[in-house]
Structure 1
Amino acid sequence: MVLVNAAVVTSFDEPPHHQPFELPAVGGGQEVVEVLAVGLHPRTRSGASGTHYTSTGVLPMVPGIDGVGRRADGTLVYFAADDDTIGTLAARTVIDSRRSVALPPDADVVAIAAAMNPAMSSWVALRTRVPIEPGQSVLVLGATGNAGSMAVEVAKLLGAGRVVGAGRDRARLDALGDRGVDDIVALTDDREATARALADAAADVDIVLDFVWGRPAADAMVALVTARSDRGREMNWIEIGSTAGPTLELPSAVLRSANFRLQGSGQGSVTPRGYLAELPALVDEIDAGRIGVQTRTVPLADVERIWAEPDVPGVRTVLVP
């Protein structure tokens, strides 16, 4: 029996507790790695609360969906968890070697742990769900969140000619100019004014990366389709996140009156093999600093305390054993 210190969820109504956890036996294609850094992503929190759509409800569990670790031979690796109950928030964990990619020996392990998950959402969407063509225009709905602000940079890196960022946090919206945004739209409580602003800035975009969903997304769909100069020109709406709510009410005319395609991007719509194929290129971009991320590091032993603290806007918390 191998016990390791880990963030252990024993009840979905409580934060994880830092306590010993028994690692399972290593099977074929698996190995034990020393964990160096793990990003505290929203997906990690939803898994720990049992609310993510992939949750099996099995307890006890160790949350965490990815991380950076060190193999027995000293090689640094980025790895993705392949089990809902044996996650990455631990001093050591068992990984599927096929779901990992080697890192340079001088890689910034904290930056990679922080940025891979949020950056991957838009990277995979624009590489596999709707492969972006050079010069196409993109609207990032929810551009002031961590994943959304990275999506601006990702879109530019992958060839977007014009990127519009829309979000509620005015200060972070204004700062998107440093990330290459071409135009910004403030999402406000004035639905009519917001709809006009979106229509003026983004009616003719080719792709929408939607991190908000809910009523703001429905309002945006109506505004863009109504104002589109050529409704026969294809618009691809990619649903990635749901910070504004898990459901929306959408007039059927939006789908009938324009060449409007709505699809999602996430676990299930993209295969594990599809995600893995994108890891090396994305690691290179993050390690080269072309996708920016602000981080703060917290000891894994403080997981229970940090769990109750609100996220700092624009900063990704990274837990280090």
Structure 2
Amino acid sequence: MYAAVVRSFESGPKYEFFDTPKPSAKHEVLIDVLASGLHPRVRSQADGSHYTSTDELPLIPGIDGVGRLPDGRLVYFVATDSALGAFADKAVIDLRRSVPLPAHADPVLIAAAMNPAMSSWVTLRRRVQVQPGFKVLIMGATGNSGQMAVQIAKLLGASQVIAAGRDQERLHSLTAIGADVTVCLAGDPEAVAPRLGEAAAEVDIVIDYLWGKPAGLAMLPILTWRSDRSRLLTWIQIGSVAGADAVIPSAALRSANFQIIGSGQGSVTPAGYMAEFPVLIDAISDGKLTANPVVFPLSSVEAVWNAPTDSQQRIVFVPSV
């Protein structure tokens, strides 16, 4: 088979011939891969920087996708924990980590949307108890996952969605998909934090894809402006685009009913993720959540990997003709 293969964490994958993997366990099966998305998580997998990396090489990246089973059925799948992922003509999957697709599902759209959507979807359904009419701040709302989070929060009953990000033009576009308030984070983070605090003072939940300095600086202003500091504010750390570490003011934890949790692999069980997939797939397939996939043949992986990308689009690789 042909695959995108990483042989050094210092360089991206190359398209080359690779031995076809074989199922080796009871629930495994070899499938034809129809579509797989190039998510930020895939890039960190390919350079060995993700916290789940095992440093095993050679590596075929790709953490999920849509494939065809030997009997012809289409499934969405999460790749196994081996070094042989989804960026290939074929992949061995664990059937327990796959979900059948409805007949009207678009494989490319599912491959593009599931990964950026599942972070906020699983967070709001598994990591926190949302109340009807909850209010949410999304830090990093202009990225692909952040844009999905805006839509998902509204779909799950949020009465107010505050979208924060650096790109003013993209922020403006988020009002069409559910953002009620936008806050531009461009400029000096210390100057931005008070404005963000005033705008987001009454939220119940913060979904944070940024972390780093913007998160640490925003916590006290949000709590300071809050009308009732005894009302719980849950800050959920998902991504770290702005830095892996954040300085947490001790006063934030003492002066308010404030908790910081994370959401990701490990904080939610695999079974918990799998239980959410069918409903999420239906929401995507039914047009309740929108994505912007851009399709490339897998043979172009090297050129696409090194090209500038648009955070409002999601690259999806399909088999080369």
Structure 2 length as normaliser, TM-score?
0.97
2:3 aligns to what? 6
2:112 aligns to what? 114
2:245 aligns to what? 247
Q: Secondary structure at the match of 2:18?
A: strand
Gaps of 5+ in 2: none
1:209 aligns to what? 207
Which deviates further from its counterpart, 244-253 or 54-63? Answer: 244-253
Which deviates further from its counterpart, 216-225 or 119-128? Answer: 216-225
In the alignment of these two chains, the number of paired residues is 318
2:20 aligns to what? 23
**Cα displacement (A) at 1:96:** 0.3
**Cα displacement (A) at 1:288:** 1.1
Q: Distance in 2 between matches of 1:168 and 1:131?
A: 29
Q: Deviations over 1:211-266 (max 9, x none)?
A: 00000011111211121111111000000001101011122111111110101000
Q: Deviations over 1:54-80 (max 9, x none)?
A: 000000011010000111111111000
> Is the contact made by 1:63 and 1:84 (CA closer than 8 Å) also made in structure 2?
no
Q: Which amino acid aligns with 1:282?
A: L
**Cα displacement (A) at 1:206:** 0.3
> Is the contact made by 2:104 and 2:285 (CA closer than 8 Å) also made in structure 1?
no
> Is the contact made by 1:8 and 1:17 (CA closer than 8 Å) also made in structure 2?
yes
- The structure-2 alpha-carbon separation of the partners of 1:161 and 1:209, relative to structure 1 and needing over 3 Å to count, comes to same
- The structure-2 alpha-carbon separation of the partners of 1:166 and 1:83, relative to structure 1 and needing over 3 Å to count, comes to same
Q: Secondary structure at the match of 2:56?
A: coil
Q: Secondary structure at the match of 2:91?
A: strand
Q: Distance in 2 between matches of 1:48 and 1:84?
A: 13
**Cα displacement (A) at 1:187:** 0.5
Out of 266, 269, 292, the residue aligned to residue 294 of structure 1 is: 292
Which deviates further from its counterpart, 116-125 or 80-89? Answer: 80-89
Q: Distance in 2 between matches of 1:295 and 1:192?
A: 35
Q: Distance in 1 between matches of 2:202 and 2:166?
A: 22
Task: Give the superposed CA RMSD.
Answer: 1.0
**Cα displacement (A) at 1:183:** 0.7
Q: Deviations over 1:64-103 (max 9, x none)?
A: 1000011111111100012240110000100000100001
1:124 aligns to what? 122
1:265 aligns to what? 263
Q: Distance in 1 between matches of 2:113 and 2:63?
A: 13
Q: Distance in 1 between matches of 2:263 and 2:133?
A: 22
> Is the contact made by 1:56 and 1:84 (CA closer than 8 Å) also made in structure 2?
no
1:187 aligns to what? 185
Q: Distance in 2 between matches of 1:200 and 1:19?
A: 53
**Cα displacement (A) at 1:313:** 2.8
Q: Deviations over 1:182-220 (max 9, x none)?
A: 111110223344223212211010000000000001111
Q: Distance in 1 between matches of 2:57 and 2:190?
A: 46
Q: Distance in 1 between matches of 2:116 and 2:6?
A: 23
2:282 aligns to what? 284
**Cα displacement (A) at 1:318:** 0.4
Q: Distance in 2 between matches of 1:229 and 1:89?
A: 50
Q: Distance in 2 between matches of 1:192 and 1:274?
A: 38
Q: Distance in 1 between matches of 2:165 and 2:301?
A: 30
Q: Deviations over 1:132-163 (max 9, x none)?
A: 22111000011000000110100011111111
2:32 aligns to what? 34
Structure 1 length as normaliser, TM-score?
0.97
How do 1:144-163 residues align onto structure 2 when only pairs under 5 Å count? 144-163=142-161
2:164 aligns to what? 166
Out of 56, 67, 85, the residue aligned to residue 58 of structure 1 is: 56
Q: Which amino acid aligns with 1:160?
A: A
> Is the contact made by 2:213 and 2:246 (CA closer than 8 Å) also made in structure 1?
yes
Q: Distance in 2 between matches of 1:162 and 1:51?
A: 35
> Is the contact made by 1:75 and 1:105 (CA closer than 8 Å) also made in structure 2?
no
> Is the contact made by 1:225 and 1:231 (CA closer than 8 Å) also made in structure 2?
yes
Percent of paired sites with the same residue: 55
| Deviating 4+ runs (over 3 angstroms) | 190-193
